[in-house]
Structure 1
Amino acid sequence: MNATDRTPAGLLRSALVADAGRPLVTFYDDATGERVELSVATFANWVAKTANLLQGELSVAPGDRVALLLPAHWQTAVWLLACSSVGAVADVSGDAAAADVVVSGPDTLEEARACRGERVALALRPLGGRFPQVPEGFMDYAAEVPGQGDQFAPFAPVDPEEPALIVAGAEFSAAEVVERALADAPDLDLTGPGSRLLSGLPYDTWAGLSAGLYAPLAAGGSVVLCRNLDKLPADALAQRIDAERVTASRH
């Protein structure tokens, strides 16, 4: 990271400059057998497209609240950084009724219907696949995001001191997210470039978000993000740690 990086989106921009081709997020779903690996460049492209969707199609402006009713997943990580890019507040597992926009996985659609603003649904299928049938009242993210621009420029500057994240009832500014992620890195055994953290923690706490995205990004490392890790036998986990060259783990 650079000394001037005071938002998660800024950390991603610095990662692009430093080494765009290195892995950033490797995702496993041990209920489906899915594995997806995203380089810094590929992840940043998804973030740019999603930020353009937020700003251009959904009219999200700095300070607007986006409820993310999503599990620990590579697409959730994309949405967290897209919200940071726009300056929106990412409200993880937040109250849909209090949100300007809601983003829902397939298991929380009824809860998401409480949002009176725009509603986006993610099928969370392998390879970012679409819903076989779009849920009524929702935009299908997988159908809408491919046509968005590959470069993103915010309409208004993002203030690092403004609220950026709400998780487990705690609110953080963008600068606080970066500061806390940097402070967490040593305790997570993230020692710099090449560090690779396997996380099986859910995204509904700061600890899960930090291990599963923010701290590896801030440290110049990468994350192996595992969903449904409890379905994986212990010997298979050891094999994964070895195969993925994991240097630390939290699960």
Structure 2
Amino acid sequence: MNATDRTPADLLRSALAADPARPLVTFYDDATGERVELSVATFANWVAKTANLLQGDLAAEPGDRVALLLPAHWQTAVWLLACASVGVVADIGGDAGAADLVVSGPDTLDAARACTGERVALALRPLGGRFPQTPDGFADYAVEVPSQGDRFQPYAPVDPEEPALIVAGAAYTGAEVVERARADAPALGLTGAGSRLLSGLPYATWAGLSAGLYAPLATGGSVVLCRHLDRLDKDAVAKRIESERVTATAR
């Protein structure tokens, strides 16, 4: 990654320029058996489409707060980078009633209805599938995002010194996210390109976000993001570590 990268969106652009074909996020849901692998290019395409939805259809502006009521999931990772691309604040598990927009999974729709702004719902089904019936009062992400543009350009440059992330009550600027992610890398066993970190941590803390997205992205590595990893026994986890060529773990 480039030393001049100051925001998470910068990190993604550098990763795309360096090696678009390499894996970036491999996601497992051990409650459903789902496995999805996204290359840097595929992940960046989802981010661009989501950022266009956020900036265009949802009229989000830099400084707006987006409550992300979502678990550790590859689509959550996409939304985090889309928020960074637009310059809005991603508030993990935040108060929907105090947010400008809300993005909710299927289990938090009631809490999300407290938001008086735009509401987006994610079914979190395998392969990014849509809801059988769109929840009342929400736009279905899987319906809205495919038609969005594959390239994104923010209306205004994103200021790395402005707030970008709120998690567990702590706020971070874009620059702080990048700096902390880089600082976390050695302890997580991320040594650069080729490092592959398996994370079973939730996204509700900085540690989970760093291990499950930001630190691998900041160091040219990749993440094997596992939801419901506790459903696997020790042998199954060891088999995954071997088959995915994992070099470090965070659980």
Distance 2:220 2:76 in 1: 20
Shift of 1:48: 0.1
Q: Distance in 2 between matches of 1:33 and 1:197?
A: 20
Q: Residue 164 of structure 1 corresponds to which residue in structure 2?
A: 164
TM-score, normalised with respect to structure 1: 1.00
How far apart in 2 are the matches of 1:208 and 1:53? 26
Q: Alignment partner of 2:166: what SS?
A: strand
Aligned pairs for 1:58-73 within 5 A: 58-73=58-73
- Cα deviation for residue 170 of structure 1 reads 0.1
Unaligned runs of 5+ in 2: none
Opposite residue 2 of structure 1, the aligned amino acid is N
Query: Distance in 2 between the 1:35 and 1:63 partners?
Result: 34
Q: Distance in 2 between matches of 1:226 and 1:89?
A: 25
Secondary structure of the corresponding residue to residue 157 of structure 1: coil
2:198 aligned counterpart, secondary structure: strand
Q: Secondary structure at the match of 2:146?
A: helix
SS of corresponding position for 1:218 = helix
CA offsets 1:198-251 (integer angstroms, 9 cap, x no match): 000000000000000000000100000000001111101100000000000011
Matched residue type, 1:43: F
Q: Which amino acid aligns with 1:32?
A: T
Counterpart of 1:83?
A: 83
Runs of at least 4 residues off by over 6 Å: none
* Matched ranges for 1:105-144 at <5 A: 105-144=105-144
SS at match of 1:215: helix
Match of 1:245, SS state, is coil
Q: How many residues align?
A: 251
CA-to-aligned-CA distance 1:33-52 (integer Å, 9 cap, x gap): 00000000000000000000
Residues in 1 aligned to 2:44 and 2:175: alpha-carbon distance in whole angstroms: 20
Q: CA deviation at 1:12?
A: 0.2
- Mapped to 1, the partners of 2:165 and 2:115 lie a distance apart of 18
Root-mean-square deviation (Å): 0.3
Q: Percent identity?
A: 82
> In structure 2, what is the Cα distance between the partners aligned to 1:80 and 1:140?
18
